[in-house]
Structure 1
């Protein structure tokens, strides 16, 4: 029989490792918190009607391919769900995961009035920077490298 202290430590260890999951992606696949914890996140808000978003998406796809240490996540600004979200993401050629649930409250991200809006979130879950307007893969990669090294 386990001691009460050992049982308590086991329960606390299990609870300490459990965070609320992030819902699902555009394909209905669950996004477990453990997939994102301790990783740098780039969260991009986009909409079908946003011209700069359309030209930025290929850059974000490139960043996701060339920087596997960064998790690129999209969020539809208009709150599309289900099949509408799938179709919109496909129409823009999005290759990275799109969150069905907006993480703004979870991460303390301020709502942006303009698009595209990109948030850089460090491995501790703190927003480090908000970038407004169209970004490039090279520019984002360089900025993330600066933030990671503290320069």
Structure 2
């Protein structure tokens, strides 16, 4: 009887914890991005590519937003649209001067994001993991901050 109870508890625990708290994989520097770093925070998730002109123009704005919003409990993240990983991702991120975390693993499934046909595309995700806004095209730090203020106040 004790073995059966232990097995039931183990299965129940793994089912409960399986969907939440899963790590986000590695960043552009090969460091693990732990769930504790991002879960429960507002996220600004930007998809970019090296060949995308507006993405290149937008990166300095996202760098500024990342610095400004960090103190407000908001994390700016990037995802390479072309699925670059490892050294390729590091080189591309460095070439564009990206100063925020770029995820090697696309979190689209986690947040139920559609595959965008246009770039750049930015998603604002609330502290409960719900997508609150999809922003198509080039964004500014001021525009992102304004949108976040409106959404957080709502």
Query: Same-fold call, TM > 0.5?
Result: yes
Gaps of 5+ in 1: none
How far has the Cα of 1:132 moved from its partner?
0.3
How far has the Cα of 1:116 moved from its partner?
0.2
Q: Does 1:115 align with 2:119?
A: yes
SS at match of 1:24: coil
Aligned to 2:25: 23
Q: Counterparts of 1:21 and 1:67 in 2: how far apart (Å)?
A: 22
Aligned to 2:64: 62
Aligned to 2:82: 78
Q: Counterparts of 1:67 and 1:120 in 2: how far apart (Å)?
A: 13
How far has the Cα of 1:15 moved from its partner?
4.5
C-alpha distance 132-34 of structure 1, shift in aligned 2 (>3 A): same
Aligned to 2:41: 39
Aligned to 1:53: 55
Aligned to 2:3: none
Q: Moved runs in structure 1, 4+ residues, more than 4 A?
A: none
SS at match of 1:67: helix
Q: Counterparts of 2:150 and 2:98 in 1: how far apart (Å)?
A: 26
Match of 1:91 among 95, 104, 114: 95
How far has the Cα of 1:19 moved from its partner?
1.4
Q: Counterparts of 1:26 and 1:143 in 2: how far apart (Å)?
A: 27
Q: Counterparts of 2:143 and 2:37 in 1: how far apart (Å)?
A: 25
Number of positions where the alignment pairs a residue of Structure 1 with one of Structure 2? 142
